[in-house]
Amino acid sequence: MNRTERLTVALDERRYDILVGEDLVAQAGRHLRPLAEGRRVMIVSDETVAGLHLGALERALADARIDARAFVVPAGEASKDFATLQHLCERLLEAGIDRGTLLLAFGGGVVGDLTGFAAAILLRGIDFVQVPTTLLAQVDSSVGGKTGIDTPQGKNLVGAFHQPRLVLADTGILASLPRREMLAGYAEVVKYGLLGDAGFFHWLEGHGHSLVEGEPNALRHAVLTACRAKAAVVAADERETGQRALLNLGHTFAHALEAECGYGDDLLHGEAVAIGMTLAFELSAQLGLCPAEDADRVRRHLAAVDLPTGFERLGGRAWSAGRLIEHMRRDKKASGGQPAFVLARRIGEAFVSRDVAEADLVSLLTEAIAQTAPPLDLAGA
């Protein structure tokens, strides 16, 4: 049954709705009309999404008599940089935006982060809407107001908290995603079960394959469950001073891996998160915090749906535990050079730790690196 569900991120005067359902791009004009009344809308998309779906969105807005203009950036994580941000901001300013202009992010996490950050800084802040087109963006990056860009020093180190006015999560549009992108998004879905909902993780063990294959009911349930969980966390801790940090499960490892891989297509963010969550549970088991069988269960499930759980798919690199730890020290969540990790007591029960000994990290990473085929460079480890 094709119905639209409405969730609310309860942030007082900045509260906004998340709509989840099929055909929401085709219905975008109706849903955006109350926000766009009398305003110009500037769509920001990437080359891949624009080629597939921009025409449908533009028609939907035109049918609702919404004045819209599109700006297209190159696809890929490399667009989350200062150069693309500057170029986008200059083009928007040349187009004559004012404080009444509404930006619309139409794409995956890169487009959402980039557009949201532009909205946060242009004219000291203008409104924007998220229309996420990947599973990862629908269940994670489009909700919560984290915006930003990457730098050579690390991921998302320059950014701002800037909440959208509306999120339209069209689960039907996910049918156009390549399998690899679906899997990358699935890693973030699994995260919600591991950090606080053991029952959801159990459901994923039985339905994960259907979800990755695009079964509509499974997709709908997963997106709703993940968005509901994130909306509750963001409402309780908008600026990540406490509970929201749990959403970084696996991300300290993931961001280090992405930095080492140069933020390219060799390793997608969700793939890095899958490896990072595996390592987080294995570290928890190594420290005696979590049953070893829970860590094994996490690894088995991620591997069963064909997500990476270690370094074995990242061949051709001379991995160094020392270099990875240096990346972790520069992570935005680090304090005084001490990385922060989300660890687990069991599946569904996570907590934040800032006192993991470097020797334990070296032991964990050295063992993980040892599973790879290429020659190893453990200097500095």
Catalytic site positions:
124, 146, 188, 230, 240, 244, 248, 251, 255, 269
Number of CB atoms found within 10 A of residue 202's CB? 14
* CA gap 340, 280 in Å, rounded: 11
Helix, coil or strand: residue 143: coil
Give yes or no for a contact between 198 and 348, defined as CB atoms under 8 angstroms apart: yes
Classify residue 263 by its DSSP letter. T
Give yes or no for a contact between 18 and 227, defined as CB atoms under 8 angstroms apart: yes
C-alpha closest to that of 60 among 24, 35, 36: 24
Which residue intervals of the chain are DSSP H helices?
28-36, 47-49, 55-63, 82-94, 109-121, 135-136, 179-196, 198-212, 216-236, 251-261, 269-286, 292-304, 321-329, 358-369
Q: Residue 128: which region, alpha, beta or left (left: phi > 0; alpha: psi -120 to 50)?
A: beta
* CA gap 308, 228 in Å, rounded: 27
C-alpha closest to that of 180 among 220, 134, 142, 223: 134
